[in-house]
Amino acid sequence: MNRAKIILTAWLLALAQPASAQDPFKPEQVKSGSETYARHCAPCHGPRMADPEGAPDLRKFPRDQRERFLTSVSKGKNSMPPWGDLLKADEIEALWAYVATGGRN
């Protein structure tokens, strides 16, 4: 292979990687999660997850522990109230999208 062909092949391989491989969340989902977060979670966990008031910093929540997130949020944990009766499953899922993407949107 000549140099140009190698570069072209590498470029095509890079293009073949779907963007969603890095970030499986839809922007609408992250946005709706951020709205729910601002309404219900920000008072304790801090606006946009910064400066939490006596609650853990959700930017440090392990990204590979979705099940734990869903369970803690729906059922509550110690002094954190349960949200399962107030929020629908897809709203909690959207919150996860927001937290797991680090509140970028």
Residue 24 or residue 81: which is nearer to ligand HEC going by CB? 81
Counting every residue written for the chain, the total comes to 105
Q: How far apart are CA 96 and CA 60, in angstroms?
A: 13
Residue 19: CB atoms within 10 A of its CB come to 6
Write the binding mask 3 to 32 for ligand HEC: x where contact by CB under 6 A, - elsewhere: ------------------------------
Out of 44, 48, 59, 66, the only residue in the binding site for ligand HEC (CB under 6 A) is 44
Contact range with ligand HEC by CB under 6 A, out of 1-9, 10-18, 21-29, 75-83: 75-83
- The structure tokens listed for 6 are 């190698």
User: Binding ligand HEC by CB under 6 A: which of 32, 34, 49, 69?
Assistant: 69
Q: Give the whole-angstrom CA distance, residue 61 versus residue 63.
A: 6
